[in-house]
Each structure stands twice: as C-alpha cells, then as structure tokens.
Structure 1
C-alpha cells in the first residue's frame, strides 16, 4: 500500500485565545496540496520504520516519530514494515509530521482491518493531525479538534516556497504580541464561485503567526516578495508557523512558471507547484 501524505497549508490562521493549560485556540482555513511525503506499508511480523528520500536526514525511525506513535494508537500486536519517503521540509509550517501521522493512521486502519483510533487518541498526536486525517478543505478551530468542511472552493494551484530555514513552532507562539485576536469572518454558505471571490474573502483574514515568524526569519519576507511579484499570483502568505510560504494561482502554467523561476533564482530554496486537492 502506497499513500501520499500531502502538504497541509493554512490559507488563514487566527490565534483567538489561550487556555489555562497553555494550549492556544485557533481558527484556520486549511487545504492540502497534491505534493508531499509518501508512506509505503508492507506485511511484517513486527513494526518497523525506515526513512528514505531527499529530506530523510535527522528524521527518527523509532517512537519519537509520529508515524510510530500513530501505529501504537491501534491495539497491540500488529506488524507492518513502514517506509517514509521524506520530501517536505522539516519545521516548515505545512504539517509534514502531522500529515505523515494522519496518513499512517488511515493506511494502517485499512491495512490491518481495524477501526481508526478515537478522536482523543488522534488529537493527542498533535493539533494538526485531526484535520490531516480529514484530508479535505476545512475550517479548523479550537486546539485542532473542531473540524468543519469548507463550502465549495474554485479550482486552484498553489506554489510552496521554503527559503531553507526552520522556524520552531514554540518560539513563534511565544513571540506573539497577543493571543486573543478576532476569529475568521463568516464563511459564505454557498462557497466561493471563483478565485477572485475567494481572494476577496481571504483578504479579510490573516496569519497571526506571520509577524513573529518574520522577526525570527527575515527570509520569509524575501520569499513573500518574490511570490507576490510573479505574474498570475492572486495572493501570497506564510503557512502555519512558517517558514514555508504559499502563493495561490487560478491556472496551472503561471504556477509552474513561478516555481521554476524561483528555484532557478534561489537554488537553495524548496519550491514546488501543485493543484489544491479536494476542490469542486
């Protein structure tokens, strides 16, 4: 069984509060790109994890890995040889580890013929794991447990750019000016008829983590400037806690041209273009 663990992109991310236990409350629009890591499952008497791919360096192959923890969320005694082909940047704000864990959960459920672990066990793996298990455009709220499907989105292409820096999530949240920001505006009940309508709505939103992330990694601002300058770019913003940035396009070829041009100009950057998954 071979499965894609797609990049998760926060088109908007509002930090709306902080609980007494320290967890931040979020209100976010999440989509998934048709690009990511790959997980392969093969029969085995025991559980094992092998990591390959261009970004395998430093990825643990034991219980520190969320894939292993996802496997252990099922009843004991199951075996599988799991191979993770790692392509997404580490600490990139696009849910690489969370998407890996979510994909492993779905895949192992089918592979072993077992029901998915309960919602609490899935959330315990991380705030992004429930929405990655959902795997379709969604509004994510609370500490990640409140998932609502989005109304229809128009066809979109997305360019993802990481300027080669890791931004630790904890440091970004710690640098927030305030944690009680306004939530997202109301969603249109019938969705967005076209890309300009979606962009108009997104312009009323923000990523509250972008300003503190940019102070720690000025390269984020450079990536956003480059994306905004590309022909056909509808909007550009940072995803999650950074440092990966995204630009939305309504057509394939300007998106591919943008990714190719940025990769040629900045060979140390990670640049990809892909369609957004699960759209009408």
Structure 2
C-alpha cells in the first residue's frame, strides 16, 4: 500500500482562496483545457438561464464569472442581442472565450478581466446580469452584488444558477470524500466561506441580495439531470476540483492509490457507459428596483 507522507496529514479543507492566482494557474488552465467537456456538461444550465432571462426588452447583458464564455456567447448568438459582456478573474479562461468569439465572428461579445466585486462598471449600462456558477466566490458578496447592481439599468434583472448543499450533490462531493482519508483531509462541512457551495442557504442568499438593494427576489430549487460519458468522467475526476488540483503533486504510489479510490467512488454513477446524476441548484432571480 502506498505510504502517506506527513506533508498530507495536516491538510484541512478550506473554501477560502486567493482568486486571481488560483484561477490564473493550474485551476484556470484545467478549466481552459476541458472547455468542450465542461460546456457539454453544463449546457442545460446555460439554457435555463437564457430561457429565464431573454425578453424583447433585454439586449445588453453582463455575464459574471463567464469562464470560457459559454453563456456570454449563447446570448450573443441570439437574434436581436445587443452587447454581451463577460467578466472573469481568469486570463486563461478569457483567452479561450475571446478566441471563440473571434472564430464565430461575434462582434457583440466582449470579455473583461476583473473581479466583479471591485470592477468599476459604467453605471446603468446593462439590461440584465446573468451567471452560471460564477457568483459564489466573492469575499464580500453583499458588496459585490451592490457593485453589480450599479451596472444594471433600473428595472433590470439578475438571473443566476448556484449550487445547493454538498449533501444534495453527491456526485460533486464523491471525489473529495474518497480522497480525504488517503490525504489526511478533514471532511468538509457546509459553510458560508467563498467556494462552490457558499450559496447553499437560500435564506442567506436572499438576505445578501436584499441588503445589496435588489428586489423581486425569487430563489427556486432546480434539479438538473446531467450525463458524462465514461471517458469524459475519467478525465473530469482527475483534473477538476480539489482532488484534481492535488493529484499532480502526489508521489506516484499515492497518486495511483487515490485514482483507484476515485474510480471506485464514481462507479456507482455509471450505467451504459456514462455517468448519470442530478445537480441540485438554486435558480436565483431578482430585479434592480425601477426609478
């Protein structure tokens, strides 16, 4: 059996990250490399956001945490769309998004490198703000949503999808739980710390938005069926999440042991050559009050 060295025994789960270095280093490059796989996986969420947002009145859209640009570009392709602007802290992801927009000739799609919590947006520039899993990482979410609201025209809308709790998303937690005893990690607990599950508590999200000046707030549970072919699953579990960020730094024997544990943990999700699972999320909608 592989030996677990002391460097792994003291590791603890932490949702807090320094966003820019993380997303411009290994994590950002992993998301950039896996853009086609992740777009296929998260396609249903972009469609939900667009269906919940698109009206004849909405032309100019701001996409928070746009990543490689999937939802920004989807809006830009819509007939009658105006300016579609994505913002993200990750330059590797933005480079992919910009190449995609150029390749499609989508001149109405543009991308900004920056933190939406602190970025100086031009006031009242957009009809709507959207986000696909891009708003859970703010260190001061109330300040962030107040800043974002300033960029939205009166009566403009917010539509986003965020994760519900860890316990409701066993697929998303399977890798961490399988690797934890091998790497000396303590089991993660739900918390308000910035990270994937920071908005698990709907009441907290409502309070954040209300304190930031939004009204007409609606937070509805959605359970979205997702599917990953077995080949994509193997890549996903080895490249994504905390385990994916850790694997390259492990000595060979321990890495092999962790990979076996990962494959065993995800085997229960696989039937007929693909992993099938539900993603438990909140569909969050709100409005910038009219004048």
TM-score, normalization by structure 1 = 0.24
Higher helix fraction: Structure 1 or Structure 2? 2
Larger strand share, 1 or 2: 1
